[in-house]
Structure 1
Amino acid sequence: MRVLALDLGSKRIGVAVSDDGGTVATPIATLARHGDRPRLHREIAELVAEWDAGLLLLGLPIALDGSIGPAATAVLAERDELAAVVGVPIEVHDERMTTRIADGKLRERGDLDSRARRDLVDQVAAAVILQDWLDHGTAPGAPHGGATT
């Protein structure tokens, strides 16, 4: 089963997808947040359909102490809105430190300036979230840890 993952930021949304076997995550896009949230959710639903994803995975920004703060609460609310549009199950996965990990990976490349890293960091963060979820799951199609809708 292919999985589409999102890193829901306040300005940009990173998008990554798994292979059909559910073993490798690949960053694919960065969506800009605009003022039309229903349209943005339709764009996400179109990506789910385009990539033939059977599940949508959202990074959940849990605080370092494990608590659910305002950012995580916002993701959970958006999950509920997306559930009415995307037509596939949605899970959330702890995304602590993923943007920092993604930025570090991009810095290691050494061939990107700060603007190029900023343009890629959200989709790489989505891939880090997805790869962590894939690595901690069992067989493709089997239930993974994390909240579902």
Structure 2
Amino acid sequence: MRILGLDFGAKTLGVAVSDELGWTAQGVETIQINEEEGEYGLGRLRELIEQYAVEEIVVGFPKNMNGTVGPRGEATQRFAERLKQTFSLPVVLWDERLSTMAAERMLIAADVSRKKRKKVIDKMAAVMILQSYLDNKNLR
């Protein structure tokens, strides 16, 4: 069973997918979106869901550090609901606090240039979100 991991932002959607056993997450791509125009990359997501035979979707849920949900978190909840309605798959909101910063630190440590980091940061954040979810799931 493959699981799709998503890092939902205002301009991009980072995408990762698990291996068939649900142990590891691999980055797939970053999809350009336009939240203001209601374009969320759902057509491309449908292609990826079919290509990888995805059975579950995990969406990074950006809570504030004190655990409250702000405007970005509310937008993510709406996006997750739209995914459920569009694809009829289970959608899990997974706490993503600090995932983008952790991805940024990892890329800096790997000496990736600022220009290249900007292109892959959302995909890397999706990998970190999905890997955290998989690790938690496999501990149970």
| TMscore range, shorter length | over 0.9
Other-structure match for 1:147: none
Return 5+ residue gaps in structure 1 as ranges.
145-149
Other-structure match for 2:15: 15
Conserved in 2, the CA contact under 8 Å of 1:22 and 1:134?
yes
Query: Hey, which bits of structure 1, 4+ residues long, moved more than 6 A?
Result: none
Conserved in 2, the CA contact under 8 Å of 1:42 and 1:86?
no
Matched residues, number = 139
Amino acid corresponding to residue 66 of structure 2 in structure 1? D
Listed as ranges, the matches of 1:33-44 within 5 Å are: 33-34=33-34, 37=38, 40-44=41-45
Other-structure match for 1:127: 127
Q: Match of 2:65, SS?
A: coil
Other-structure match for 1:105: 106
Q: Match of 1:117, SS?
A: helix
In the TM superposition, residue 50 of structure 1 has moved relative to its aligned partner by: 1.2
Q: Structure 1 residue 114 and structure 2 residue 114: aligned? A: yes
Conserved in 2, the CA contact under 8 Å of 1:59 and 1:94?
yes
Bigger mean CA deviation after superposition, 57-66 or 80-89: 80-89
Other-structure match for 2:96: 95
In the TM superposition, residue 39 of structure 1 has moved relative to its aligned partner by: 6.5
Conserved in 1, the CA contact under 8 Å of 2:33 and 2:39?
no
Root-mean-square deviation over aligned CA pairs: 1.6
Give the Cα separation in 2 of the matches to 1:40 and 1:117.
21
Amino acid corresponding to residue 120 of structure 1 in structure 2? V
Give the Cα separation in 2 of the matches to 1:31 and 1:68.
24
Other-structure match for 2:72: 71
Other-structure match for 1:30: 30
Q: Deviations over 1:29-51 (max 9, x none)?
A: 00011365357222212211111
Give the Cα separation in 2 of the matches to 1:86 and 1:59.
18
Give the Cα separation in 1 of the matches to 2:133 and 2:40.
27
Conserved in 2, the CA contact under 8 Å of 1:25 and 1:127?
yes
In the TM superposition, residue 87 of structure 1 has moved relative to its aligned partner by: 2.9
Q: TM-score, normalised by structure 1?
A: 0.87
Conserved in 1, the CA contact under 8 Å of 2:27 and 2:124?
yes
Q: TM-score, normalised by structure 2?
A: 0.92
Q: Deviations over 1:87-134 (max 9, x none)?
A: 321111000000000011111111x21110010000000000000001
Other-structure match for 1:51: 52
Return 5+ residue gaps in structure 2 as ranges.
none
